[in-house]
Protein backbone atom coordinates (compact mmCIF):
# COMPACT_ATOMS: atom_id res chain seq x y z
CA UNK A 1 0.00 0.00 0.00
CA UNK A 2 2.79 2.37 0.94
CA UNK A 3 4.60 1.66 -2.34
CA UNK A 4 1.38 2.41 -4.17
CA UNK A 5 1.06 5.75 -2.39
CA UNK A 6 4.72 6.43 -3.06
CA UNK A 7 4.09 6.38 -6.78
CA UNK A 8 1.00 8.53 -6.40
CA UNK A 9 2.97 11.09 -4.39
CA UNK A 10 5.86 10.95 -6.88
CA UNK A 11 3.61 11.72 -9.84
CA UNK A 12 1.89 14.52 -7.93
CA UNK A 13 5.20 16.05 -6.93
CA UNK A 14 6.53 15.94 -10.49
CA UNK A 15 3.34 17.52 -11.77
CA UNK A 16 3.47 20.34 -9.24
CA UNK A 17 7.10 20.99 -9.98
CA UNK A 18 6.39 21.27 -13.65
CA UNK A 19 3.34 23.42 -13.09
CA UNK A 20 1.32 24.16 -16.24
CA UNK A 21 0.26 20.78 -17.59
CA UNK A 22 -2.58 19.80 -15.28
CA UNK A 23 -4.09 23.25 -15.00
CA UNK A 24 -4.21 23.37 -18.82
CA UNK A 25 -6.86 20.68 -18.84
CA UNK A 26 -9.12 22.64 -16.50
CA UNK A 27 -8.52 25.88 -18.38
CA UNK A 28 -9.41 24.11 -21.62
CA UNK A 29 -12.54 22.76 -19.97
CA UNK A 30 -13.69 26.20 -18.88
CA UNK A 31 -12.80 27.89 -22.18
CA UNK A 32 -14.47 25.25 -24.30
CA UNK A 33 -17.68 25.43 -22.28
CA UNK A 34 -17.64 29.24 -22.51
CA UNK A 35 -17.42 28.97 -26.30
CA UNK A 36 -20.82 27.34 -26.48
CA UNK A 37 -22.98 30.28 -25.44
CA UNK A 38 -20.91 32.41 -27.80
CA UNK A 39 -21.55 29.99 -30.62
CA UNK A 40 -25.12 28.98 -29.86
CA UNK A 41 -26.54 32.21 -28.45
CA UNK A 42 -27.35 33.28 -24.92
CA UNK A 43 -30.94 32.04 -24.80
CA UNK A 44 -31.33 30.46 -21.39
CA UNK A 45 -33.61 27.58 -22.34
CA UNK A 46 -31.43 26.54 -25.31
CA UNK A 47 -28.34 26.52 -23.11
CA UNK A 48 -30.14 24.68 -20.34
CA UNK A 49 -31.23 22.01 -22.79
CA UNK A 50 -27.68 21.36 -24.02
CA UNK A 51 -25.90 22.03 -20.73
CA UNK A 52 -25.47 18.42 -19.60
CA UNK A 53 -24.19 17.31 -22.98
CA UNK A 54 -21.80 20.22 -23.38
CA UNK A 55 -20.28 19.79 -19.94
CA UNK A 56 -19.79 16.06 -20.41
CA UNK A 57 -18.33 16.30 -23.90
CA UNK A 58 -15.88 19.04 -22.97
CA UNK A 59 -14.90 17.17 -19.79
CA UNK A 60 -14.24 14.15 -21.98
CA UNK A 61 -12.06 16.16 -24.35
CA UNK A 62 -10.18 17.82 -21.50
CA UNK A 63 -9.44 14.42 -19.96
CA UNK A 64 -8.30 13.09 -23.30
CA UNK A 65 -5.90 15.97 -23.85
CA UNK A 66 -4.12 15.31 -20.59
CA UNK A 67 -3.77 11.56 -21.11
CA UNK A 68 -0.83 11.80 -23.44
CA UNK A 69 1.34 12.89 -20.54
CA UNK A 70 0.49 9.89 -18.41
CA UNK A 71 3.33 7.67 -19.53
CA UNK A 72 5.22 9.74 -22.07
CA UNK A 73 7.67 11.52 -19.77
CA UNK A 74 8.52 8.36 -17.85
CA UNK A 75 8.97 6.44 -21.07
CA UNK A 76 11.33 9.02 -22.49
CA UNK A 77 13.64 9.34 -19.52
CA UNK A 78 13.73 5.61 -18.77
CA UNK A 79 11.87 5.65 -15.46
CA UNK A 80 9.11 3.50 -16.97
CA UNK A 81 11.59 0.67 -17.42
CA UNK A 82 12.64 0.99 -13.80
CA UNK A 83 9.01 1.00 -12.65
CA UNK A 84 8.39 -2.14 -14.69
CA UNK A 85 11.30 -3.88 -12.97
CA UNK A 86 10.31 -2.69 -9.51
CA UNK A 87 8.81 -5.18 -6.98
CA UNK A 88 5.45 -3.48 -7.35
CA UNK A 89 3.36 -5.11 -10.12
CA UNK A 90 3.09 -2.93 -13.20
CA UNK A 91 -0.71 -3.12 -12.94
CA UNK A 92 -0.52 -1.42 -9.54
CA UNK A 93 1.83 1.20 -10.95
CA UNK A 94 -0.74 1.95 -13.63
CA UNK A 95 -3.49 2.29 -11.01
CA UNK A 96 -1.29 4.61 -8.97
CA UNK A 97 -0.58 6.81 -11.96
CA UNK A 98 -4.29 6.87 -12.81
CA UNK A 99 -5.11 7.96 -9.28
CA UNK A 100 -2.52 10.72 -9.45
CA UNK A 101 -3.90 11.80 -12.81
CA UNK A 102 -7.42 11.88 -11.40
CA UNK A 103 -6.34 13.98 -8.44
CA UNK A 104 -4.59 16.38 -10.80
CA UNK A 105 -7.20 16.61 -13.53
CA UNK A 106 -10.39 14.68 -12.75
CA UNK A 107 -10.93 16.33 -9.39
CA UNK A 108 -10.51 19.91 -10.68
CA UNK A 109 -12.90 19.11 -13.52
CA UNK A 110 -15.36 17.79 -10.97
CA UNK A 111 -15.06 21.00 -8.95
CA UNK A 112 -15.39 23.23 -12.01
CA UNK A 113 -18.39 21.41 -13.46
CA UNK A 114 -21.14 22.79 -11.19
CA UNK A 115 -19.80 26.32 -11.70
CA UNK A 116 -19.97 25.85 -15.46
CA UNK A 117 -23.43 24.35 -15.08
CA UNK A 118 -24.51 27.67 -13.60
CA UNK A 119 -23.09 29.48 -16.62
CA UNK A 120 -25.15 27.28 -18.89
CA UNK A 121 -28.34 27.83 -16.89
CA UNK A 122 -28.63 24.18 -15.92
CA UNK A 123 -31.66 23.58 -13.75
CA UNK A 124 -30.72 23.27 -10.08
CA UNK A 125 -32.26 19.80 -9.94
CA UNK A 126 -29.35 18.47 -11.97
CA UNK A 127 -26.40 19.70 -9.94
CA UNK A 128 -26.07 16.97 -7.36
CA UNK A 129 -26.47 14.25 -9.97
CA UNK A 130 -23.93 16.01 -12.21
CA UNK A 131 -21.37 16.01 -9.43
CA UNK A 132 -22.02 12.39 -8.56
CA UNK A 133 -22.06 11.22 -12.17
CA UNK A 134 -18.79 13.00 -12.91
CA UNK A 135 -17.26 11.62 -9.73
CA UNK A 136 -18.02 8.17 -11.10
CA UNK A 137 -17.30 8.97 -14.72
CA UNK A 138 -14.00 10.86 -14.64
CA UNK A 139 -12.01 8.00 -13.03
CA UNK A 140 -13.47 5.62 -15.63
CA UNK A 141 -12.41 7.95 -18.43
CA UNK A 142 -8.89 8.15 -17.02
CA UNK A 143 -8.63 4.38 -16.62
CA UNK A 144 -9.78 3.77 -20.21
CA UNK A 145 -7.60 6.61 -21.42
CA UNK A 146 -4.61 5.11 -19.67
CA UNK A 147 -5.01 2.04 -21.88
CA UNK A 148 -4.92 4.27 -24.93
CA UNK A 149 -1.89 6.12 -23.60
CA UNK A 150 -0.11 2.83 -22.88
CA UNK A 151 -0.80 1.56 -26.39
CA UNK A 152 0.48 4.70 -28.09
CA UNK A 153 3.47 5.56 -25.92
CA UNK A 154 6.38 6.33 -28.20
CA UNK A 155 4.27 6.26 -31.37
CA UNK A 156 4.53 8.95 -34.00
CA UNK A 157 1.54 11.36 -33.90
CA UNK A 158 0.73 9.73 -30.58
CA UNK A 159 -1.66 12.43 -29.43
CA UNK A 160 -4.02 12.31 -32.39
CA UNK A 161 -3.88 8.54 -32.49
CA UNK A 162 -4.74 8.43 -28.79
CA UNK A 163 -7.89 10.48 -29.41
CA UNK A 164 -8.99 8.17 -32.24
CA UNK A 165 -8.49 5.15 -30.02
CA UNK A 166 -10.18 6.28 -26.82
CA UNK A 167 -13.13 8.33 -28.04
CA UNK A 168 -15.18 5.32 -29.18
CA UNK A 169 -14.41 3.64 -25.87
CA UNK A 170 -15.65 6.72 -23.97
CA UNK A 171 -19.11 6.58 -25.52
CA UNK A 172 -20.92 4.49 -22.87
CA UNK A 173 -19.70 6.76 -20.07
CA UNK A 174 -20.85 9.79 -22.03
CA UNK A 175 -24.27 8.34 -22.77
CA UNK A 176 -25.02 7.30 -19.20
CA UNK A 177 -23.44 10.40 -17.69
CA UNK A 178 -25.56 12.79 -19.71
CA UNK A 179 -28.68 10.66 -19.30
CA UNK A 180 -28.28 10.63 -15.52
CA UNK A 181 -28.18 14.42 -15.37
CA UNK A 182 -31.04 14.83 -17.84
CA UNK A 183 -33.17 12.39 -15.87
CA UNK A 184 -32.52 14.30 -12.66
CA UNK A 185 -33.44 17.57 -14.32
CA UNK A 186 -36.67 16.05 -15.65
CA UNK A 187 -37.54 14.76 -12.20
CA UNK A 188 -37.08 11.12 -13.20
CA UNK A 189 -35.11 8.43 -11.39
CA UNK A 190 -31.40 8.89 -12.02
CA UNK A 191 -30.28 6.09 -9.72
CA UNK A 192 -30.26 3.23 -12.25
CA UNK A 193 -28.07 5.34 -14.51
CA UNK A 194 -25.69 6.20 -11.71
CA UNK A 195 -25.52 2.51 -10.93
CA UNK A 196 -24.68 1.85 -14.57
CA UNK A 197 -21.86 4.39 -14.30
CA UNK A 198 -20.65 2.72 -11.13
CA UNK A 199 -20.70 -0.60 -12.96
CA UNK A 200 -18.59 0.84 -15.76
CA UNK A 201 -16.13 2.18 -13.21
CA UNK A 202 -15.81 -1.20 -11.52
CA UNK A 203 -15.34 -2.92 -14.87
CA UNK A 204 -12.68 -0.39 -15.83
CA UNK A 205 -10.89 -0.86 -12.50
CA UNK A 206 -10.89 -4.60 -12.96
CA UNK A 207 -9.90 -4.84 -16.62
CA UNK A 208 -7.92 -1.82 -17.78
CA UNK A 209 -4.84 -1.92 -15.49
CA UNK A 210 -4.11 -5.42 -16.69
CA UNK A 211 -4.42 -4.45 -20.36
CA UNK A 212 -2.47 -1.21 -19.85
CA UNK A 213 0.36 -3.06 -18.15
CA UNK A 214 0.47 -5.55 -21.04
CA UNK A 215 0.63 -2.65 -23.48
CA UNK A 216 3.44 -0.98 -21.51
CA UNK A 217 5.43 -4.21 -21.46
CA UNK A 218 5.01 -4.29 -25.25
CA UNK A 219 6.43 -0.81 -25.49
CA UNK A 220 9.40 -1.63 -23.32
CA UNK A 221 10.39 -4.82 -25.12
CA UNK B 1 -6.27 -27.72 -30.25
CA UNK B 2 -2.55 -27.08 -30.16
CA UNK B 3 -1.95 -29.82 -32.70
CA UNK B 4 -4.44 -28.30 -35.09
CA UNK B 5 -2.74 -24.95 -34.75
CA UNK B 6 0.71 -26.34 -35.27
CA UNK B 7 -0.31 -28.10 -38.44
CA UNK B 8 -0.99 -24.73 -40.05
CA UNK B 9 1.78 -22.90 -38.27
CA UNK B 10 4.24 -22.53 -41.08
CA UNK B 11 3.68 -20.16 -43.96
CA UNK B 12 4.41 -22.95 -46.42
CA UNK B 13 1.62 -25.12 -45.05
CA UNK B 14 -0.78 -22.19 -45.09
CA UNK B 15 0.15 -21.28 -48.65
CA UNK B 16 -0.54 -24.81 -49.77
CA UNK B 17 -3.86 -24.96 -47.93
CA UNK B 18 -5.02 -21.57 -49.15
CA UNK B 19 -4.03 -22.39 -52.71
CA UNK B 20 -6.34 -25.38 -52.52
CA UNK B 21 -9.23 -23.48 -50.95
CA UNK B 22 -9.08 -20.26 -52.95
CA UNK B 23 -10.55 -21.45 -56.25
CA UNK B 24 -13.50 -22.92 -54.36
CA UNK B 25 -14.19 -19.88 -52.20
CA UNK B 26 -13.82 -17.57 -55.18
CA UNK B 27 -16.19 -19.69 -57.24
CA UNK B 28 -18.64 -19.93 -54.37
CA UNK B 29 -18.55 -16.15 -53.95
CA UNK B 30 -19.47 -15.59 -57.59
CA UNK B 31 -22.26 -18.16 -57.54
CA UNK B 32 -23.73 -16.94 -54.27
CA UNK B 33 -23.73 -13.33 -55.41
CA UNK B 34 -25.35 -14.29 -58.70
CA UNK B 35 -28.11 -16.21 -56.95
CA UNK B 36 -28.40 -13.70 -54.14
CA UNK B 37 -28.68 -10.67 -56.39
CA UNK B 38 -31.26 -12.43 -58.55
CA UNK B 39 -33.35 -13.29 -55.51
CA UNK B 40 -32.86 -9.87 -53.99
CA UNK B 41 -33.72 -7.81 -57.04
CA UNK B 42 -36.05 -9.98 -59.08
CA UNK B 43 -37.04 -13.10 -57.22
CA UNK B 44 -38.60 -11.47 -54.18
CA UNK B 45 -41.58 -9.17 -53.68
CA UNK B 46 -41.32 -5.53 -52.59
CA UNK B 47 -42.11 -4.81 -48.98
CA UNK B 48 -45.65 -3.83 -48.00
CA UNK B 49 -44.55 -0.63 -46.27
CA UNK B 50 -41.17 0.17 -47.79
CA UNK B 51 -41.76 -0.77 -51.40
CA UNK B 52 -38.74 -1.42 -53.59
CA UNK B 53 -36.39 0.41 -51.23
CA UNK B 54 -36.30 -2.75 -49.13
CA UNK B 55 -33.90 -4.13 -51.76
CA UNK B 56 -31.19 -2.05 -50.10
CA UNK B 57 -31.67 -4.18 -47.00
CA UNK B 58 -30.21 -7.15 -48.86
CA UNK B 59 -26.90 -5.35 -49.02
CA UNK B 60 -27.04 -3.21 -45.88
CA UNK B 61 -27.88 -5.95 -43.38
CA UNK B 62 -25.31 -8.54 -44.59
CA UNK B 63 -22.67 -5.79 -44.66
CA UNK B 64 -23.50 -4.83 -41.08
CA UNK B 65 -23.46 -8.47 -39.95
CA UNK B 66 -20.07 -8.97 -41.62
CA UNK B 67 -18.71 -5.77 -40.09
CA UNK B 68 -19.34 -7.20 -36.63
CA UNK B 69 -18.34 -10.75 -37.60
CA UNK B 70 -14.99 -9.63 -39.02
CA UNK B 71 -14.32 -7.70 -35.84
CA UNK B 72 -14.95 -10.90 -33.89
CA UNK B 73 -12.51 -12.74 -36.16
CA UNK B 74 -9.95 -9.98 -35.63
CA UNK B 75 -10.41 -10.14 -31.87
CA UNK B 76 -10.15 -13.93 -31.84
CA UNK B 77 -6.99 -13.81 -33.97
CA UNK B 78 -5.57 -11.17 -31.63
CA UNK B 79 -6.30 -13.34 -28.60
CA UNK B 80 -4.61 -16.34 -30.21
CA UNK B 81 -1.67 -14.13 -31.15
CA UNK B 82 -1.19 -12.76 -27.64
CA UNK B 83 -1.79 -16.00 -25.75
CA UNK B 84 -0.15 -18.63 -27.97
CA UNK B 85 2.09 -16.34 -30.03
CA UNK B 86 0.96 -18.18 -33.14
CA UNK B 87 2.79 -16.50 -36.05
CA UNK B 88 -0.12 -16.59 -38.45
CA UNK B 89 -2.53 -15.06 -35.95
CA UNK B 90 -1.01 -11.57 -36.23
CA UNK B 91 -1.08 -11.89 -40.00
CA UNK B 92 -4.73 -12.93 -39.96
CA UNK B 93 -5.70 -10.00 -37.73
CA UNK B 94 -3.76 -7.54 -39.90
CA UNK B 95 -5.33 -8.94 -43.05
CA UNK B 96 -8.94 -8.82 -41.85
CA UNK B 97 -8.99 -5.24 -40.55
CA UNK B 98 -9.30 -3.43 -43.91
CA UNK B 99 -11.99 -5.88 -45.03
CA UNK B 100 -13.99 -5.20 -41.89
CA UNK B 101 -13.56 -1.46 -42.35
CA UNK B 102 -14.87 -1.74 -45.91
CA UNK B 103 -17.93 -3.70 -44.79
CA UNK B 104 -18.58 -1.11 -42.10
CA UNK B 105 -18.35 1.70 -44.63
CA UNK B 106 -20.77 -0.12 -46.95
CA UNK B 107 -23.18 -0.62 -44.07
CA UNK B 108 -23.05 3.10 -43.26
CA UNK B 109 -23.44 4.29 -46.85
CA UNK B 110 -26.24 1.89 -47.73
CA UNK B 111 -27.90 2.57 -44.39
CA UNK B 112 -27.89 6.27 -45.18
CA UNK B 113 -29.33 5.65 -48.67
CA UNK B 114 -32.01 3.46 -47.12
CA UNK B 115 -32.74 5.98 -44.41
CA UNK B 116 -33.43 8.88 -46.75
CA UNK B 117 -36.57 7.43 -48.37
CA UNK B 118 -37.62 5.74 -45.13
CA UNK B 119 -37.05 8.42 -42.52
CA UNK B 120 -36.65 11.44 -44.76
CA UNK B 121 -33.09 12.16 -43.64
CA UNK B 122 -29.65 11.16 -44.92
CA UNK B 123 -28.45 10.43 -41.45
CA UNK B 124 -30.43 9.46 -38.40
CA UNK B 125 -29.02 8.66 -35.00
CA UNK B 126 -30.67 5.28 -35.11
CA UNK B 127 -29.13 2.78 -32.70
CA UNK B 128 -27.89 0.58 -35.49
CA UNK B 129 -26.27 3.31 -37.60
CA UNK B 130 -24.71 4.96 -34.56
CA UNK B 131 -23.21 1.71 -33.30
CA UNK B 132 -21.85 0.93 -36.76
CA UNK B 133 -20.34 4.42 -36.96
CA UNK B 134 -18.50 3.84 -33.69
CA UNK B 135 -17.41 0.41 -34.95
CA UNK B 136 -16.01 2.18 -38.02
CA UNK B 137 -13.88 4.39 -35.76
CA UNK B 138 -12.70 1.32 -33.86
CA UNK B 139 -11.53 -0.21 -37.13
CA UNK B 140 -9.76 3.00 -38.20
CA UNK B 141 -8.08 3.24 -34.81
CA UNK B 142 -6.93 -0.36 -35.05
CA UNK B 143 -5.43 0.14 -38.51
CA UNK B 144 -3.81 3.44 -37.49
CA UNK B 145 -2.28 1.93 -34.35
CA UNK B 146 -0.95 -1.07 -36.25
CA UNK B 147 0.92 1.20 -38.63
CA UNK B 148 2.05 3.82 -36.13
CA UNK B 149 5.38 2.29 -35.17
CA UNK B 150 8.70 1.84 -36.88
CA UNK B 151 8.86 -1.65 -35.44
CA UNK B 152 6.10 -3.64 -37.14
CA UNK B 153 5.95 -6.22 -34.34
CA UNK B 154 5.30 -3.53 -31.73
CA UNK B 155 2.45 -2.15 -33.83
CA UNK B 156 0.87 -5.57 -34.29
CA UNK B 157 1.06 -6.41 -30.61
CA UNK B 158 -0.38 -3.07 -29.52
CA UNK B 159 -3.15 -3.43 -32.08
CA UNK B 160 -3.91 -6.93 -30.77
CA UNK B 161 -4.45 -5.54 -27.26
CA UNK B 162 -6.63 -2.79 -28.70
CA UNK B 163 -8.72 -5.32 -30.64
CA UNK B 164 -9.43 -7.21 -27.42
CA UNK B 165 -10.25 -4.01 -25.52
CA UNK B 166 -12.61 -3.07 -28.32
CA UNK B 167 -14.18 -6.52 -28.28
CA UNK B 168 -15.00 -6.15 -24.59
CA UNK B 169 -16.29 -2.66 -25.19
CA UNK B 170 -18.31 -3.36 -28.32
CA UNK B 171 -21.26 -5.02 -26.59
CA UNK B 172 -21.27 -2.28 -23.94
CA UNK B 173 -21.18 0.43 -26.59
CA UNK B 174 -23.94 -1.23 -28.60
CA UNK B 175 -26.09 -1.71 -25.52
CA UNK B 176 -25.63 1.88 -24.36
CA UNK B 177 -26.35 3.30 -27.83
CA UNK B 178 -29.48 1.11 -28.18
CA UNK B 179 -30.67 2.29 -24.80
CA UNK B 180 -29.87 5.91 -25.65
CA UNK B 181 -31.75 5.62 -28.90
CA UNK B 182 -34.93 4.29 -27.32
CA UNK B 183 -34.69 7.15 -24.86
CA UNK B 184 -34.63 9.76 -27.60
CA UNK B 185 -36.60 8.07 -30.34
CA UNK B 186 -39.87 9.82 -31.12
CA UNK B 187 -42.79 7.42 -30.67
CA UNK B 188 -43.92 7.73 -34.28
CA UNK B 189 -40.74 6.37 -35.82
CA UNK B 190 -41.17 2.74 -36.72
CA UNK B 191 -38.34 0.33 -36.00
CA UNK B 192 -36.58 -0.48 -39.21
CA UNK B 193 -37.31 -3.99 -40.42
CA UNK B 194 -39.34 -4.75 -37.35
CA UNK B 195 -38.63 -7.49 -34.87
CA UNK B 196 -39.55 -10.23 -37.37
CA UNK B 197 -38.73 -10.44 -41.04
CA UNK B 198 -41.27 -11.93 -43.40
CA UNK B 199 -40.33 -15.32 -44.83
CA UNK B 200 -40.15 -14.23 -48.46
CA UNK B 201 -37.55 -11.64 -47.52
CA UNK B 202 -35.52 -14.10 -45.50
CA UNK B 203 -34.21 -16.29 -48.31
CA UNK B 204 -32.52 -13.53 -50.37
CA UNK B 205 -31.10 -12.10 -47.15
CA UNK B 206 -29.52 -15.39 -46.13
CA UNK B 207 -28.05 -16.04 -49.57
CA UNK B 208 -26.59 -12.53 -49.70
CA UNK B 209 -25.18 -13.00 -46.20
CA UNK B 210 -23.48 -16.22 -47.30
CA UNK B 211 -22.19 -14.45 -50.43
CA UNK B 212 -20.62 -11.74 -48.28
CA UNK B 213 -19.13 -14.44 -46.08
CA UNK B 214 -17.59 -16.27 -49.03
CA UNK B 215 -16.20 -12.95 -50.30
CA UNK B 216 -14.62 -12.35 -46.90
CA UNK B 217 -12.96 -15.77 -46.88
CA UNK B 218 -11.62 -15.27 -50.40
CA UNK B 219 -10.20 -11.80 -49.83
CA UNK B 220 -8.86 -12.77 -46.40
CA UNK B 221 -6.93 -15.72 -47.80
CA UNK B 222 -5.52 -13.51 -50.56
CA UNK B 223 -4.49 -10.83 -48.08
CA UNK B 224 -2.83 -13.36 -45.77
CA UNK B 225 -0.87 -14.79 -48.68
CA UNK B 226 0.14 -11.29 -49.68
CA UNK B 227 1.26 -10.46 -46.16
CA UNK B 228 3.31 -13.67 -45.94
CA UNK B 229 5.10 -12.74 -49.17
CA UNK B 230 5.80 -9.25 -47.83
CA UNK B 231 7.26 -10.73 -44.64
CA UNK B 232 9.47 -13.04 -46.67
CA UNK B 233 10.73 -10.07 -48.69
CA UNK B 234 11.48 -8.18 -45.49
CA UNK B 235 13.28 -11.16 -44.01
CA UNK B 236 15.46 -11.67 -47.08
CA UNK B 237 16.31 -7.97 -47.23
CA UNK B 238 17.23 -8.02 -43.55
CA UNK B 239 19.51 -11.00 -44.02
CA UNK B 240 21.15 -9.37 -47.04
CA UNK B 241 21.71 -6.08 -45.22
CA UNK B 242 23.20 -7.91 -42.27
CA UNK B 243 25.46 -9.99 -44.52
CA UNK B 244 26.63 -6.89 -46.40
CA UNK B 245 27.29 -5.14 -43.10
CA UNK B 246 29.30 -8.10 -41.83
CA UNK B 247 31.29 -8.27 -45.04
CA UNK B 248 32.03 -4.57 -44.82
CA UNK B 249 33.30 -4.89 -41.26
CA UNK B 250 35.50 -7.88 -42.10
CA UNK B 251 36.95 -5.95 -45.03
CA UNK B 252 37.70 -3.00 -42.78
CA UNK B 253 39.40 -5.26 -40.25
CA UNK B 254 41.53 -6.88 -42.95
CA UNK B 255 42.64 -3.53 -44.37
CA UNK B 256 43.49 -2.35 -40.88
CA UNK B 257 45.69 -5.38 -40.37
CA UNK B 258 47.42 -4.99 -43.68
CA UNK C 1 -38.37 -3.11 -72.73
CA UNK C 2 -41.23 -1.98 -70.54
CA UNK C 3 -40.45 -4.47 -67.81
CA UNK C 4 -36.78 -3.39 -67.90
CA UNK C 5 -37.80 0.22 -67.32
CA UNK C 6 -40.04 -0.85 -64.46
CA UNK C 7 -37.19 -2.87 -62.99
CA UNK C 8 -34.74 0.03 -63.29
CA UNK C 9 -37.32 2.38 -61.81
CA UNK C 10 -37.45 0.36 -58.60
CA UNK C 11 -40.92 1.68 -57.72
CA UNK C 12 -39.67 5.27 -57.58
CA UNK C 13 -36.76 4.46 -55.28
CA UNK C 14 -34.22 4.11 -58.08
CA UNK C 15 -32.21 7.11 -56.88
CA UNK C 16 -31.53 5.24 -53.63
CA UNK C 17 -31.42 1.56 -54.54
CA UNK C 18 -28.99 1.72 -57.46
CA UNK C 19 -26.44 4.01 -55.81
CA UNK C 20 -26.56 1.79 -52.72
CA UNK C 21 -25.83 -1.30 -54.79
CA UNK C 22 -23.17 0.64 -56.69
CA UNK C 23 -21.37 1.76 -53.51
CA UNK C 24 -21.26 -1.81 -52.23
CA UNK C 25 -20.04 -3.14 -55.57
CA UNK C 26 -17.40 -0.45 -56.06
CA UNK C 27 -15.95 -0.81 -52.55
CA UNK C 28 -15.83 -4.59 -52.68
CA UNK C 29 -14.35 -4.73 -56.16
CA UNK C 30 -11.81 -2.02 -55.31
CA UNK C 31 -10.72 -3.93 -52.20
CA UNK C 32 -10.31 -7.10 -54.23
CA UNK C 33 -8.37 -5.24 -56.92
CA UNK C 34 -6.06 -3.59 -54.41
CA UNK C 35 -5.48 -6.94 -52.71
CA UNK C 36 -4.59 -8.65 -55.97
CA UNK C 37 -2.40 -5.80 -57.19
CA UNK C 38 -0.49 -5.74 -53.92
CA UNK C 39 -0.09 -9.51 -53.98
CA UNK C 40 1.31 -9.46 -57.53
CA UNK C 41 3.69 -6.61 -56.73
CA UNK C 42 5.02 -8.36 -53.64
CA UNK C 43 5.42 -11.67 -55.46
CA UNK C 44 7.35 -9.84 -58.18
CA UNK C 45 9.63 -8.24 -55.60
CA UNK C 46 10.22 -11.63 -54.00
CA UNK C 47 11.08 -13.20 -57.34
CA UNK C 48 13.45 -10.33 -58.14
CA UNK C 49 15.19 -10.66 -54.79
CA UNK C 50 15.70 -14.37 -55.32
CA UNK C 51 17.30 -13.70 -58.73
CA UNK C 52 19.91 -11.28 -57.35
CA UNK C 53 23.37 -12.63 -56.44
CA UNK C 54 23.55 -13.19 -52.68
CA UNK C 55 24.81 -10.20 -50.66
CA UNK C 56 25.88 -8.17 -53.68
CA UNK C 57 29.27 -7.73 -55.40
CA UNK C 58 31.89 -6.68 -52.85
CA UNK C 59 31.36 -9.66 -50.51
CA UNK C 60 31.66 -12.07 -53.42
CA UNK C 61 34.98 -10.50 -54.37
CA UNK C 62 36.68 -11.39 -51.11
CA UNK C 63 35.39 -14.97 -51.05
CB contact under 8 A, B46 and C11: yes
Quick one: how far is CA A23 from the chain centroid? Answer: 14
Between the CA atoms of B131, A212, B157 and A60, what dihedral angle is there, to the nearest 10 degrees? 40
Do chains C and A have 3 or more beta-carbon pairs under 8 angstroms? no
What is the percentage of chain B residues whose pLDDT exceeds 90?
A: 57
Across the interface, which of B99, B229, B254 has its CB nearest the CB of C39? B229
Ranking A128-142, A198-212, B110-124 by mean pLDDT, the lowest is: B110-124
Structure confidence at residue A88 (pLDDT) = 87
Q: Which of A17-26, A68-77, A128-137, A203-212 has the lowest mean pLDDT?
A: A17-26
Q: What is the mean pLDDT of chain A?
A: 91
Q: Is pLDDT above 60 for C58?
A: no
Q: Is the CB of residue B110 less than 8 Å away from at least one CB of chain C?
A: yes
- With CA atoms as reference, the chain B residue closest to C22 would be B110
Which chain A positions have a beta carbon within 8 Å of B172's beta carbon? 172, 200, 203
> 3-class SS at B47?
strand
CA distance A176 to A199: 11
Contacts of residue A175, Cβ cutoff 8 Å, sequence gap at least 6 = B176, B177, B179, B180
Summarize the confidence of residues A82-111 as an average pLDDT. Answer: 91
What is the ipTM score, two decimals? 0.85
Position B192 pLDDT exceeds 70: no
DSSP, collapsed to helix, strand or coil, labels residue A39 as helix
Question: Taking CB atoms and an 8 Å cutoff, what residues of chain C touch B110?
Answer: 20, 23-24
What backbone torsions phi and psi does residue B51 show, to the nearest 5 degrees?
65, -145
Question: Looking at the complex, does the CB of residue B56 fall below 8 Å from at least one CB of chain C?
Answer: yes
Count of CA atoms in the C-beta half-sphere (13 A) of A91: 9
**pTM for this prediction:** 0.87
Q: Which residue of B has its CA nearest to C43?
A: B229
Q: b vs e for A149-165, b when ≥16 Cβ sit within 10 Å of the residue's Cβ?
A: bbbbbbbeebeebbbbb
pLDDT grade for A127, boundaries at 50, 70 and 90: very high
Q: For position B11, what pLDDT does the model report?
A: 82
Distance from CA of B32 to the nearest CA of A (A): 35
pLDDT value, residue B30? 95
Q: What average pLDDT does range B202-225 have in this prediction?
A: 94
- Could you tell me which chain A residue has the CA closest to the CA of B142? A165
Burial class (CB in 10 A: 0-12, 13-18, 19+), B93: buried
Per-residue model confidence (pLDDT) at position C43: 94
> According to the model, what pLDDT value does residue A179 have?
95
| Local structure of A173: helix, strand or coil | helix
Q: Give the 3-state secondary structure percentages of chain C, helix then strand then coil, rounded to 5.
A: 85, 0, 15
Q: Is residue B178 pLDDT above 90, yes or no? A: no
Q: What's CA B136's distance to the chain center, in Å?
A: 11
Cα(B51)–Cα(B33) distance, rounded to whole angstroms? 22
A151/B162 Cβ within 8 A? yes
CA separation for the pair B101, B61 (Å, rounded)? 15
pLDDT digits (tens, 9 = 90+) for C9-53: 777 788 889 999 999 999 999 999 999 999 999 999 999 988 876
- Given a cut of 60, whether residue A40 has pLDDT beyond it is yes
CB within 8 Å: A211 and B173: no
Q: How far apart are CA A108 and CA A98, in angstroms?
A: 15
Q: What angle do CA A191, A193, A197 make, to 5 degrees?
A: 115
Q: What is the DSSP letter of C54?
A: T
Amino acid sequence: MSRFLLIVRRDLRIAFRQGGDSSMAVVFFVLAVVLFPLGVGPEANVLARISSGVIWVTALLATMLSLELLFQADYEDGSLELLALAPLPLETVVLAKCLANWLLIGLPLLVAAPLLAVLLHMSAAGFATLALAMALGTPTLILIGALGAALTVGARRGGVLLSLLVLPLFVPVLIFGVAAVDHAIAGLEARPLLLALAGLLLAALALTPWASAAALRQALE
Amino acid sequence: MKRVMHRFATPAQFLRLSAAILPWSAGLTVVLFAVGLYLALIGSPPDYQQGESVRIMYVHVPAAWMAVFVYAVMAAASAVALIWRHPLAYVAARASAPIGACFTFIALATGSLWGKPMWGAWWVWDARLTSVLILFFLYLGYIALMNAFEDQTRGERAAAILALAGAVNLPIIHWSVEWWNTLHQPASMARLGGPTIHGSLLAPLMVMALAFGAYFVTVLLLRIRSELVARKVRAIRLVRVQAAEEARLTRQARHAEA
Amino acid sequence: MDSLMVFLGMGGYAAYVWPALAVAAVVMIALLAQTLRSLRAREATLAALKEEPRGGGPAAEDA
